[in-house]
Structure 1
Amino acid sequence: MEPLPPKSLLDMLAERLERAFGQAVRIMDPVRTPVASRLGADRSAAEPVRAAIAATWGCGCRDRLVGVTAATLVGGNPATGCGGVLVLSVQPGAEAGAPVREVGRSLGLEDCNDPGCAMHPAGNAPGLCRACRERC
């Protein structure tokens, strides 16, 4: 979703999501941010962005769709939205840990006490612990 984070950050996030959840991740062509959702140069309303992703790629009922933008998102429920469409704001220079945890939360996972788990709030572990993997 435009504006895009750097390609290197998108690639790193895709790799981390694959490792954490054991599912293939495809990076799709960007979706243009709807004009009606723009609240400034770097701010967008979350719901119209989520709707644009669903209109372009589907509602996410078969696969989880994750839209990633460098814009700050305002409003909306960050967890699920339309079926399996999740929209994340990832700023350039960010670590992949927080977005991985947001995807985990959208799948019903909660913060984990295991520092070796990607769902640990302060961690940046590459994968899920056994307990979280069983819940997901």
Structure 2
Amino acid sequence: MKIKLGLLFLSGGIGALLTELLNLMILEIFQFIAIVAVVLLDALLGISRALINKEFETRKAFKGIFMMVAFTSLLATVLIIEKGYPFASFLSETVLLPIIVFQVISILKNMQLLGLISGTLLDKIIDNIDKHKNGKHNTIT
């Protein structure tokens, strides 16, 4: 009897949690779509580049799936915090903006490496980002 009661409470708790997450996803669908769209586009461009250069690795391909799950989970957590604390309504935008910006930079870099876009300004921006990532902090000239 105790096991059945424990399973009932466990399944009820899991159901309530999943219902709450689904409700958040429905209410904030555009934020979740934005994350999924940029991560999928970045992953597809990265996989395309790897296939063209014959450098495809399954581990790197799964990185896109991991990032999508991690970013959507982070957004869901922040939205739950916002729901509990209405004065923290800026948190989702604070989390979403850097994710989108970094993914768009990665998309532009992958598109440039595939030869889909080019331009001196884009080259300069990506070179400065690469210098910053490698620890060479130079000013933009």
The structure in which a higher percent of residues are strand is: 1
Q: TM-score under structure 1 normalisation?
A: 0.29
Which of structures 1 and 2 has the bigger CA Rg?
Answer: 2
Q: TM-score under structure 2 normalisation?
A: 0.29
